[in-house]
Structure 1
Amino acid sequence: MECKSSKRMLRMPKAEGMLARTPSKKWVWLGLFVFHQFSLGFAHKTQVAIAKMGEEVTLPCCYETRSEDIPSNYRVYWQKNVTEVVIAYSFGNWLPNPINRSSLNQRTFALSITQVEISDAGSYTCIVQRVGSVKLCDQTVILSVIADFSQPAISLKKPSDCESSEVVVSCSSYGGFPKPKVSGFFNNVSVDWNTSLTSDAKTSLYNITGMARFNVTENMNLMCSVEYSDRTVSGEYPLTKPDNCESFKEDPPSHEVIIASITVLSIFLVAIILLVRYFRCSACERVRSSYNGTSQPTATEDETKLGTKTTMFQFCTMTSETSSF
């Protein structure tokens, strides 16, 4: 009896140890299952790709064949926004390709698009199947397209009143994507801009202009920035306070210049007319005196010379009558 009881006593710790290890083993398997599911979810999560307008982009797929595999054993689809087929390869046959700028890598099944356009942006899904099996994988890639904005251009509009130190500043940038915003600093103080935004109907590119008013009481610095996507293009510009009011004066209006020019021209023409009349009257007096002092012509006198004097006398007489009238 003592021996049996002792054996039982010896077996009890073994049984208790097995019972103690059972919950630990359960938690281990549960952890492995959760890790596996997490790994699958991580492997097929949505990816993001960014491309610049006019360049080439490559979108990765979720499957890569082995070196001994034959591409014709696979069916691969790339779809855009679920309904639009971008490219398709089915067991060695290419299906019609709506986007002739796209191509497929037959080893990695990656999709390449050349000369990227704004309209190419969207959600792309790669689906891979093998002969005689179900779908191997599918993966979604979100493609964002950007176009760089131009360097901001600053223009100033000064007040007509030279006593005022306020200026209106405009900051403009063109030809970018996606939708931007204008920011900046005036002497290290943030600026609130009134912005106007336009978009080209054909290219979808944006043009933006921001306007703000500043009191320029001294030489100051202005920084204007255009922010789009995760990018920024900016420039720094000095604003110089004018030394005196002369710098604010505008050029005289054009009609005043025209009136002054006409007045000067009129005085010049009147002076020329008076000079012409003066010299004409002096010449006529000399002709008239010569004619009155001439005797009756004889047969030996030059008739041609006398006729010329007569004609000049008549012309001067008519001129005098016209002037007196």
Structure 2
Amino acid sequence: MQNIWLLCFYKLLLKKGRWRNIGMEDPFSVLLKSLQSVFHLEAMRNGKYTFPAVQHLKEATENYDPKARNTFIELLRAIREALPYIEKWRINFNIIRKSMDALAKLHHMPTIDWNQVLSHPKVSPRFQFSALNHSHHEHDLITWLAKKTGKPFTQLDHTELTQTLVDHRDRLGFSQRLSNHLKKDPDFLYNIILRSERNFIKISQTRLILYLTDEQLARAIIKHIPVLIHKRKEPFEQIEQLIHTLNEILSNGRSVSTLLRNADAKLILENSPLFQMYLSEEYKNRHQHPNKGSHLQTNKSLKPGL
């Protein structure tokens, strides 16, 4: 009788939208939050996700209706199809499982057979075992980093912090922890890449670059230009070398051209005389006048004193 009363109370809270008023969240909201990394990091084309399974999952979450059992069944089916991407982005599956179990009770559905759901041919046995047998402890990123390094977070210098993030970026639960931390501290990674060009290069050459905004990357580029160029080369050669170097660094998710397509990032980059020249007609026509750039070597305005 007590369980029936609790379930009715649970449904009433969901219907009235009062979870937040008593310090709780409805299970669907928790589920949706846990899937945000997939929706944020997977590629899109023409307004839809490149991979059909991810698009199906997105549509299933948008179409979910707490009053319609068929939408729950479709959501469970979509989660199973998207398991390879849930594994790929190291999503905490324990949160997904608990949320779906709670929703199953809400819809008066039988207990979910997770062994069957997880029997996907494209997910690893390690992921299946972990999803079925382990509850992942919910630690914030700072606590987790301290545990991994064996040091209090305040004792980590920026180079050690950078290396730890790079080394552990593919660990289970890392994406969720980092995403949650960036909601509280949006400049966390940005402050790290500003500290040194080595931090900038190491982080930008991995998928961690996807957690940085175009504007943050543009500011970091302006900061590190002086150490990224060959100062003894002529200006046009400096520019060519700089753009090539930056494209190599950013190749895991960005490029100079993609940054310049962002109006705010472009405005930041135009603070550099080298980028001003890169965007000029003179530079675009440099092959028509190969010797024209030589006189710019003495032009102080092109020296990257930033």
Q: TM-score, normalised by structure 2?
A: 0.22
Q: Give TM-score, length-normalised by structure 1.
A: 0.21
Structure with the larger strand share: 1
- Which structure has the larger Rg? 1
Higher relative contact order (CA 8 A, sep 6+): 2
More helix by share: 2
